[in-house]
Amino acid sequence: MAASKEMLKRINKILEPKSIAVVGASQAPEKVGHVIVRNLIEGRYGGKVYPVNPKYDKLLGMKCYHSVLDVPGNIDCVIIATPAPTIPAIMEECAKKKVGGVLMLSGGFEEVGRRDLADAVRKIAETNSIPTIGPNCLGVFNPYNHVDSIFFPMYKLGRPGPGNVSFITQSGAVGSVIIDAAGYYGIGIAKFISYGNATVLDETDLLGYLAEDRKTEIIIFYLEAVKDGRRLLAKMTEVNKKKPILVLKAGRGAAGQSAALSHTGNIAGSYLAYQAAFRQAKVTEARSIDELFDLMRIFGQPPAMGKKMGVITNGGGLGVLTIDAVEEEGLAAAGLGEETIASLKKVLPSYGNIGNPLDLIADATVELYEKAIEEYMKDGGVDFIIICVLFQTPPMNERIVNVLVNAAEDKRKPIAVVSVGGAYTESYKKILESRGVPTFGSPNSAVKAIRKFIEYSKNMQKYTRKPKKTRG
Amino acid sequence: MAASKEMLKRINKILEPKSIAVVGASQAPEKVGHVIVRNLIEGRYGGKVYPVNPKYDKLLGMKCYHSVLDVPGNIDCVIIATPAPTIPAIMEECAKKKVGGVLMLSGGFEEVGRRDLADAVRKIAETNSIPTIGPNCLGVFNPYNHVDSIFFPMYKLGRPGPGNVSFITQSGAVGSVIIDAAGYYGIGIAKFISYGNATVLDETDLLGYLAEDRKTEIIIFYLEAVKDGRRLLAKMTEVNKKKPILVLKAGRGAAGQSAALSHTGNIAGSYLAYQAAFRQAKVTEARSIDELFDLMRIFGQPPAMGKKMGVITNGGGLGVLTIDAVEEEGLAAAGLGEETIASLKKVLPSYGNIGNPLDLIADATVELYEKAIEEYMKDGGVDFIIICVLFQTPPMNERIVNVLVNAAEDKRKPIAVVSVGGAYTESYKKILESRGVPTFGSPNSAVKAIRKFIEYSKNMQKYTRKPKKTRG
């Protein structure tokens, strides 16, 4: 059932709260209720933090309240980290206190057969229009204001910087490790929401929130089971037109569906039905975590106007593998224009191969790369440029990074970089990623993501995203 | 045409030479002939090094010879880095000097239409039974004795440590970036051979050499075009029975075939014919560079006795994604034995999910992991264990690494680890890889590689590889 308009209007109280109470705040360093208070204080959250636990008067040097009712002033967001059976009574107190919203982190509800507890919580939330996320989840993370209920230590699970990609995830584990990796790769995020059992607010409600969120430009969905598929489908169809939705659906096979059921207490249902719905909504489906990362990288690019791919390389074999992938994914190797060929002949040594892939060979300098990229940018027959660069060759130097960043910021055409190697190459790739250049470790994963991006570009002809400037 | 027996017997003169002459040795730091001499001296090559160049008397503090004929004593291996047109005359001198073998690095032969030069070189090599690799290649690298003709600077392209994986690659670029990455991932190698145009020794000759090489246990092939497919097929069929062959074939589509032709001057031919040949020889084909890495990781495991997969995780969603991948790849989710379930019930908290995937949930300690892995090891219904570990949870600590290494060294069953995350997780993954634990960043890539490994294990029932101890 959809949450009330009243409730939906106030979801931002959870993601942009001016004050947070942590119920179940603890002095024991390994407890969830300790890690969260510590993360809020040691992170840079600027609002008020109220630890709540009847057992303590002080906690981490702060006054500890015995109940949310004892807290002076308003509470925008209450994070509850106490065992499931205690939560209905705490929710009653939250209602009395008229708090802005609630995050329930603890498990022990539908997924272990305690539907009674879930029903009690839902009733209180709905009666009092309290937007409530969870239970059985990691809650939220907002890098813009450092609201953070992820109870994994910061040194173990990195928090990404601000960006334009938002996450809605049913599994806290999958969601959190993905943002951990995303941050490591230099991908910034807007909002992270782990919603667990979806007892009150569900995926559709949260999608509606992100659709209106000004910081969010790309939406990532990790789904296991959906309660109201039709509602989600309608919302996805609408939102995907203005903000691309990338979805990873788990619980696809029989064993996976049964695992999903015991995970969040929801029935996954037929994967075929989900696939049909995704196709109908024209949302982009990733089939694996790696593919999701690949799509995140490429969906920040300017829209592709067609499927004619131009490949440039200083490592012959890498170009051959890339053009193979282009053909195997149903894209086309661009034919080069007469003018492009004439211009390239002037700058390329006799033993370079003018064609597509354009093999600049291992002698290629950064200057030659720069010229070749410019020729491909100007050639009307090339829709997308893939640059397969060996940073390892003797004449390459650090200026190649600048050339590639300029090509990505040029915006005349979408580009992607493919590069394989060890420590030296990885350091270059990290810089590129942090500057918003989509960078891949394999031709095939690059081309597969590009194909899906081109499909989306084609489906959404009205698709006009602003040049992104929000990475890293 | 096959090389003579005389020639084949002496290939080891190139890979295990006691003395090396570098023709085209140069004082200019950016020149190939400079980088190679420097790499041999600054690396730990223990044999004699003779720079050869008529222009100099001294080079890098050493005597420089005007011709190989001026060098006192024997030369096992001559590395030639001079332009193509000069090479036939140099080969004549090598013949006169009765050198052990020759590496020709320079391009400018078949691939640019100079078949005449290639014919001249081949004639001299065959008449004098000089094993000759190249031209248009990077040559060889042997980490056991630091023979190294890869003319990429060591700080840009890392050299892997000694191990049991050998490479035969037509493209120097692809081969070298792969060993660069392999070294970075902690995969050690036995021999690296980049053979380029295959003018004298071809891929089949080199495969025969590696088949007899005691250090080589797994053989990686990067192929674009093969001159004598039948011969290669026969050799692959024979060698693959004792040492698994993993092959990456480029030039699969029309555009790729034409690119391959201009790359090494050889006709790639129908990919369907190659695929049929690979199937007939039962060699394992990788379709992308990432897949090749995944296969390298998994082929070091003890043989799989069946396709019933057991999944253990402390991150519910990751388990669901893994079991989905298991079903989608045509493998099976193992049913757990009564005894396993009874034992697990004793140690797992009530809210953990005993099933497959076994969800130990985020509260899981290292000790719980250890017990769960032991139960899966003992369960006769589980053929292969996939451990999807979140290193990020609060109770996890560094002892988990030891538990996973022990599981891999246990050898009762093959295992794989799946783990996704940022800097903290990556540091753990690197340690695991360097200790020979196959570690993957995505359930799907792990399971896909496992499927191919199981197929190989099944095809090669006589397959009995010694426990490997050669990584890192």
Asked if pLDDT for residue A472 goes beyond 70, the answer is: no
Nearest to B433 by CA among B244, B294, B319: B294
For chain B, 472 residues long, the average pLDDT of each consecutive 10-residue run is 84 97 94 92 92 96 97 97 97 98 94 92 97 95 96 91 95 92 92 95 96 97 89 96 95 81 67 91 96 94 92 94 96 95 88 84 93 96 97 94 96 96 95 93 96 93 49 40
pLDDT at B352 (0 to 100) = 65
Can you give the pLDDT at residue B129? Answer: 96
Same domain, A330 and A294: no
Same domain for A52 and A86? yes
Please, how many CA atoms are within 13 Å of residue A218, restricted to the half-sphere of its CB? Answer: 26
The domain total for chain A is 2
Cβ(A377)–Cβ(A336) below 8 Å? no
Structure tokens at A193: 């929401």
* Cross-chain Cβ contact B259/A361 below 8 Å: no
The pLDDT assigned to B351 comes to: 65
Domain boundary among B234, B266, B298: B298
Q: Please report the pLDDT score of residue A466 as a whole number.
A: 46
Smallest CA–CA separation between B160 and chain A, in Å?
10
**A111: DSSP letter:** G
A365 and A446 assigned to the same domain: yes
Asked if A178 and A151 count as a contact pair (C-beta separation under 8 A), the reply is no
Q: What percent of chain A has pLDDT over 70?
A: 95
Q: Give the global pTM.
A: 0.92
A444 lies within 8 A of chain B by CB: yes
Lowest average pLDDT, out of A129-143, A180-194, A220-234, A246-260, goes to: A246-260
Q: Taking Cα atoms as reference points, which of B298, B311, B304, B437 lies closest to residue B372?
A: B311
Size of interface A-B (CB pairs under 8 A): 295
Residue B44: per-residue pLDDT: 87
B430: Cβ contacts below 8 Å, ≥ 6 apart:
B185, B186
Question: Which of A189, A257, A264, A324 to mutate to probe the B interface, most B CBs <10 Å?
Answer: A324
Instruction: Say whether both B204 and B351 belong to one domain.
Output: no
Return the SS3 of A62. strand
Q: What is the CATH number of the domain that holds B99?
A: 3.40.50.261
Q: Are residues A288 and A376 in the same domain?
A: no
Q: Which of B178, B394, B395 sits opposite A420 (nearest CB)?
A: B178
Nearest to A358 by CA among A374, A336, A377: A336
Residue A292 and residue A384 in one domain: no
The answer on A381 and A235 residing in a single domain is no
Whether B444 sits inside 8 A of A287 (CB atoms) is yes
The alpha-carbon gap from B88 to the nearest alpha carbon of chain A, in Å, equals 19
Confidence of residue A257 (pLDDT cuts 50, 70, 90): confident
B352 close contact with A: CB closer than 8 A: no
Q: Would an 8 Å CB–CB cutoff place B319 in contact with chain A?
A: yes
Task: Single out the residue in A270, A298, A326 at which a domain terminates.
Answer: A298
Is residue A465 domain-resident? no
- Residues A264 and A379 reside in one and the same domain: no
Contact between chains at A395 and B30 (C-beta distance less than 8 A):
yes
- Computed over its alpha carbons, how large is the radius of gyration of chain B? 25
Cis peptide before B143 (omega within 30 of 0): no
Residue A470 lies in a domain: no
Residue B374 lies in a domain: yes
pLDDT score for A236: 96
Q: What percent of chain A has pLDDT over 90?
A: 79
ipTM entry: 0.91
Residue A383 in this model has a pLDDT that exceeds 70? yes
A379 assigned to some structural domain: yes
Q: In the predicted model, what is the mean pLDDT of chain A?
A: 92
Q: For residue B205, tell me if it sits in a domain.
A: yes
Q: What is the CA radius of gyration of chain A?
A: 25
Structural domain containing residue B393:
308-459
Helix (H) or strand (E) holding B310: strand B308-313
pLDDT at B470: 42
State whether A33 and A120 are in the same domain. Answer: yes
Domain boundary among B242, B267, B298: B298
Q: Has residue B287 been placed in a domain?
A: yes
- Are B38 and B150 members of one domain? yes
Q: Indicate whether A471 belongs to any domain.
A: no
Any B CB within 8 A of A128 CB: no
Residue B472: what pLDDT? Answer: 37
Cβ distance A173 to B316 less than 8 Å, yes or no, reads yes
Phi, psi torsion values for A260, nearest 5 degrees: -65, -40
**Quick one: B263 and B186 in the same domain?**
yes
Q: Residue B28: inside a domain, yes or no?
A: yes
Q: CA nearest B22: which of B98, B85, B99?
A: B99
CA distance B383 to chain A (A): 17
Q: Where are the beta strands (DSSP E) in B128-172?
A: 132-133, 139-142, 147-148, 162-169
Same domain, yes or no: A91 and A43: yes
Q: Report the pLDDT averaged over residues A407-416.
A: 94
Structure tokens at B114: 């100079």
Determine which of A352-356, A409-413, B419-423 has the lowest per-residue pLDDT on average. A352-356
Q: Is the pLDDT of residue A264 over 80?
A: no
More confident residue, A254 or B194: B194
